[in-house]
Amino acid sequence: MELIRQPVFLLLFTLSVITCLLLAASPYFGFGGTGLNVVNFDVKMVKDGALTVMLLSGLFAAVICASSSLAREITSGTALVVLSKPVGRMHFVVGKYLGVAAALTVGTYLNLLAVLLASRMGYDAYGNPDIVGVITILAFMGLAYVAAGFLNYFLHKPFVPTAVTLLVVLLTLGFLTVCAQDKSRAWWMVDSGEGMTAGFTEIWVFTDSAGQGQQGEALDASEKADFAEGVDWGMARLALLILFALWLLSALALMCSTRLSWLPTLSICSALLLLGLMSDYLLGGLASGGGVIQQGDYVIWRPPGDQAGTHNLFRLKPRGVRRLAEMEFLVRVNVNGPPTPEAERMKNGVLTLDAQVSTNQVQISYEQIKTEIDETLKLRWNQPLEREMIEIGRLLLPGEFPGKSMDVTLLGQIHTKIEEQEAVLERDETKQELLLDYRVLHDQVKTRVVPGHLALWFMPEQGTITKWDSAIEKPKIITRGATWAKILYVLVPNWQLFWLSDSVGVEEETMSSRRADEAAKAAARKAGAVGVGQPKSSRVLKRADVKYREGRVPMKYIGTAFLYVIAYIGIMLSGALMLFENRELA
């Protein structure tokens, strides 16, 4: 942990924390991209920017720490002195790496606090900056520096490691202090332009007073925000993945530092980082094989030999609709055979297509496949909707359907009961919102087509498959992947596995505008206008009308990524040890 004694370590992570705070305090950072959509693009830009700062600062820290830890000790002769004692080269290299990894973990923790604060402080074009929160954090950081200087001057404590230690402690306390502030009331204390005012004691979430309204009336304390409200805790898992990437980068930097100085090491690490970020684009398609067909595309299959009968064409997976991502089909073709019975065309995930051809090729279009699997896809799409309908039905009809069973056969009984008691439920104000949600879900279940832009990924099983791409109007031969590309794809670390910011955004439920339509219909029924016709919704769709959920990185994925990193670190350290063993230290 001697790396935290380096002044550059303290300076680098202090600047990265301040940069994250400045990103959150910048107005119109998302260029006004936020409208009534549930995805707040201004805040998302702040989060992405803060995570980028975390990654880049960690990259520089990994290279600089590894170079100062090993390369400088080799050139200065310190390594020779250490190895003259009963310390093996393997223990020396592994110990250096653990020190670098521990220092990066400390720096990433500081950045994590800044990222969490940025997720809370970020605001769109219609919000207000968290000036009090920014000043609070900067005050705690300044206190850490002042205390470190005091201890250095009077008690002769080393400044840099003392400052790093105090920064970890005081930044944590500052984070908790900001989380205890009500962001809106903190703004009222700075700017009362809206006519709302609040004093210093009224901005805290645990006090009984909540400020004064536009008419000078005392506001209710129950309207205050909760502790840490607005903090996106999902950023912690994203930061953990970035830490894994930094551990891997530090192992690479350490391997390079056995022979190179810090500047060539930085160049190599940066080049490998860029190559890894583009590995999916450069090598992913060639390594994985297969192809994607969309509307207007078709495939041409040439069977091995001129053989009639049933042949396996390819494996098929839906793409573009997250709820269907785990489905898989085997597509077969019945060449010049008797027609396949209707009940056997789609069975147990196997789709059989009939083809009567005179030439040695079969053409299958996207529309043909989608027509055959639409019903299966829709049944899978409906599953979570039907479960939610059962739950809402139990709330609408308490005591009618006891137990916790989610058997879909219950849904028909629940729907019949709700239709029978629809007039009573509409008059019950406590159940109107639930009834509205039930109708929206029922409309989605009745829709025959799966919402979204559905594409189909396929992998050849046998024979040669050519895809006609309607976008570029050119054919493309689809293979099972090139061996050389698979080897390179495995050897080059895929950094996109650790950058999942775009993969855990808000997932909006489809057909959300139907809720506004249903609300207008319910209002018309209540006013007695049902017989006049179905009115169109004139209500403005608000964010509250859109159901959504924030994505989270599963812990299973984090565990898999950890094993991936451990394997690569083992390879890198083995290479570092091999280079270090052959290095002359005299």
pLDDT greater than 60 at residue 550: no
On whether residue 393 sits in a domain, the answer given is: yes
Residues 365 and 457 both lie in one domain:
yes
On whether residue 492 sits in a domain, the answer given is: no
| Ordered strands of the 474-478 beta sheet | 362-365, 298-302, 464-469, 474-478
Highest mean predicted confidence (pLDDT) among 32-36, 378-382, 400-404: 378-382
| pLDDT given at position 544 | 39
pLDDT greater than 50 at residue 234: yes
| pLDDT given at position 208 | 87
Contact 210, 219 (CB under 8 A): yes
Instruction: Tell me which of 464, 480, 496 is where a domain ends.
Output: 480
Neighbours of 70 (CB within 10 A): 27
Residues 311 and 253 both lie in one domain:
no
Q: Is 15 helix (H, G, I), strand (E, B) or coil?
A: helix
Which segments of 34-146 are extended strands (E)?
A: none
Range of the domain at 361: 290-480
| pLDDT given at position 520 | 57
Predicted confidence (pLDDT) per residue in 325-371, tens digit: 889 999 998 888 888 888 888 888 999 998 877 667 788 999 999 98
Predicted confidence (pLDDT) per residue in 119-143, tens digit: 898 876 667 888 999 999 999 999 9
- The DSSP-derived string for 195-227 is S-B--GGGSBTTSS---B-TTSPBPPGGGSPPT
Residues 247 and 361 both lie in one domain:
no
pLDDT greater than 70 at residue 448: yes
Residues 255 and 337 both lie in one domain:
no
Residues 301 and 438 both lie in one domain:
yes
Contact 539, 519 (CB under 8 A): yes
| pLDDT given at position 242 | 94
| pLDDT given at position 39 | 55
| pLDDT given at position 529 | 45
C-alpha–C-alpha distance, residues 571 and 552, integer Å: 30
Residues 123 and 81 both lie in one domain:
yes
Look at residues 257, 214, 227 and name the one whose alpha carbon lies nearest to residue 97: 257
On whether residue 63 sits in a domain, the answer given is: yes
pLDDT greater than 70 at residue 490: yes
On whether residue 118 sits in a domain, the answer given is: yes
C-alpha distances (whole Å) from 180 to each of 2, 151, 189, 198, 204 are 35, 29, 15, 15, 6
Question: Do β-strands 346-347 and 350-355 pair in parallel, antiparallel, or remain unpaired?
Answer: antiparallel
Neighbours of 71 (CB within 10 A): 22
Contact 204, 182 (CB under 8 A): yes
Global pTM? 0.74
pLDDT greater than 80 at residue 16: yes
Calculate the average pLDDT of the chain. 82
Q: Is 343 helix (H, G, I), strand (E, B) or coil?
A: helix
pLDDT greater than 60 at residue 158: yes
Q: Taking residues 146-161, what's their average pLDDT?
A: 95
pLDDT greater than 70 at residue 223: yes
pLDDT greater than 60 at residue 177: yes
Residues 102 and 243 both lie in one domain:
yes
On whether residue 7 sits in a domain, the answer given is: yes
Q: Taking residues 560-569, what's their average pLDDT?
A: 92
Residue type at 30 in one-letter notation: G
Residues 276 and 311 both lie in one domain:
no
Look at the chain and report how many structural domains it folds into: 2
C-alpha–C-alpha distance, residues 416 and 397, integer Å: 11
Residues 318 and 276 both lie in one domain:
no
Predicted confidence (pLDDT) per residue in 501-540, tens digit: 665 554 444 444 445 555 555 565 555 544 444 444 333 3
Instruction: Tell me which of 480, 513, 531 is where a domain ends.
Output: 480
On whether residue 488 sits in a domain, the answer given is: no
Residue type at 530 in one-letter notation: V
Instruction: Tell me which of 480, 495, 517 is where a domain ends.
Output: 480
Highest mean predicted confidence (pLDDT) among 142-156, 216-230, 375-389: 142-156
Q: Taking residues 388-398, what's their average pLDDT?
A: 88
**Range in 128-137, 286-295, 396-405 the model is least confident about:** 396-405
As a whole-number percent, the residues of the chain with pLDDT over 70 amount to: 86
On whether residue 254 sits in a domain, the answer given is: yes
| pLDDT given at position 230 | 87
Q: Find the angle CA(265)-CA(268)-CA(272) to the nearest 5 degrees.
A: 140
| pLDDT given at position 537 | 37
C-alpha–C-alpha distance, residues 212 and 203, integer Å: 12
Q: Can you read off the two tokens belonging to residue 289? A: 């094989």
Q: Taking residues 200-220, what's their average pLDDT?
A: 86
C-alpha distances (whole Å) from 216 to each of 112, 190, 195, 198, 340 are 40, 17, 9, 11, 79
User: Greater confidence, 87 or 192?
Assistant: 87
Q: Taking residues 202-206, what's their average pLDDT?
A: 90
Residues 374 and 265 both lie in one domain:
no
pLDDT category, 404, cuts 50, 70, 90?
confident
pLDDT greater than 80 at residue 382: yes
Question: Do β-strands 291-293 and 474-478 pair in parallel, antiparallel, or remain unpaired?
Answer: unpaired
pLDDT greater than 50 at residue 295: yes
Q: Taking residues 464-477, what's their average pLDDT?
A: 84
Predicted confidence (pLDDT) per residue in 68-95, tens digit: 777 777 777 777 788 778 878 888 888 8
| pLDDT given at position 548 | 39
Look at residues 233, 247, 232, 264 and name the one whose alpha carbon lies nearest to residue 55: 247
pLDDT greater than 50 at residue 184: yes
C-alpha distances (whole Å) from 583 to each of 71, 267, 569, 575, 580 are 12, 22, 21, 12, 5
Contact 355, 368 (CB under 8 A): no
Q: CA quadruple 43, 49, 54, 57: dihedral positive or negative?
A: negative
As a whole-number percent, the residues of the chain with pLDDT over 90 amount to: 25
Residues 350 and 255 both lie in one domain:
no
Which phi and psi (to 5°) does residue 313 adopt?
A: -90, -65
C-alpha–C-alpha distance, residues 144 and 164, integer Å: 8
Residues 455 and 337 both lie in one domain:
yes
pLDDT greater than 60 at residue 383: yes
Q: Taking residues 456-462, what's their average pLDDT?
A: 86
Beta-carbon contacts of 182 under 8 Å, excluding residues fewer than 6 positions away, are: 198, 203, 204, 205, 210, 224, 225
**Range in 24-33, 169-178, 243-252 the model is least confident about:** 24-33
On whether residue 25 sits in a domain, the answer given is: yes
Neighbours of 106 (CB within 10 A): 19
